[in-house]
Amino acid sequence: MITAENVVGLVVGEGCFYVESCPDSRYRLGWRIRPAFCIEMRAEEEGVLEVVRDLLGCGSVYHLDFGRYSGYEKRGWLPHVKYRVTRRRDLDQRVVPFFRQYPLFGRKAVAFEHFAKLVEILTAGLHRTPKGLDLAKEVADRLREHNRRGLLLGERTGTKT
């Protein structure tokens, strides 16, 4: 059995709270901010991620065979599977409350605080005004900066999966 507290430990090791924050003309103020939560593991661990999905009650599990994984076999990488939540309502009503109830620890707890703040801003719709958008961008930058400092050279250059 995988418990909620097990999931917390797994997320400290393997989970990622991240955000896309970039210009996008399809958005009213010309800027897109999309937070997401994911855990990536070896393909054999699909069952583990399915339990995580069920415990969190949202998101989906899918196999990676595109993007930086395209042709991974040729590069000697093993197949991976990803659990991801992007739907804002799920982030607000499932993911954030889950990690409030079962707290994270270490650096990941800091990433989560930026993430939760961002989800709160977006859920309240504050980003629809220029001033609120600036605030959202600022929090998004803080989260990205935190995650960036967490990356190793291998990851930056794509040699780590």
Q: Which residues bind a copy of itself (CB under 8 A)?
A: 1-3, 5-14, 41-42, 44-45, 47-48, 51, 75-78, 103, 105-107, 150, 152-154, 156, 159-161
Nearest distance in Å: CB 88, a copy of itself: 26
Q: In 3D, which of 130, 139, 141, 135 has the Cα closest to residue 29?
A: 130
Q: Which is nearer to a copy of itself, 30 or 71 (CB)?
A: 71
Q: Which amino acid is at 154?
A: G
Asked if 43 and 80 touch (Cβ cutoff 8 Å), the reply is: yes
Q: Which is nearer to a copy of itself, 32 or 144 (CB)?
A: 144
Q: Which is nearer to a copy of itself, 50 or 120 (CB)?
A: 50
Q: In 3D, which of 84, 98, 143, 88 has the Cα closest to residue 120?
A: 88
Nearest distance in Å: CB 4, a copy of itself: 8
Nearest distance in Å: CB 42, a copy of itself: 7
Nearest distance in Å: CB 43, a copy of itself: 11
Q: Which is nearer to a copy of itself, 10 or 126 (CB)?
A: 10
**Secondary structure of 17-86 in HEC code, one letter for each residue:** EEEEEEECCCCCCCEEEEEEEEEEEEHHHHHHHHHHHHHHCCCEEEEECCHHHCCCCCCCCCCEEEEEEC
Asked if 85 and 95 touch (Cβ cutoff 8 Å), the reply is: yes
Q: Which is nearer to a copy of itself, 50 or 92 (CB)?
A: 50
Q: How many residues are given for the chain?
A: 161
Nearest distance in Å: CB 1, a copy of itself: 7
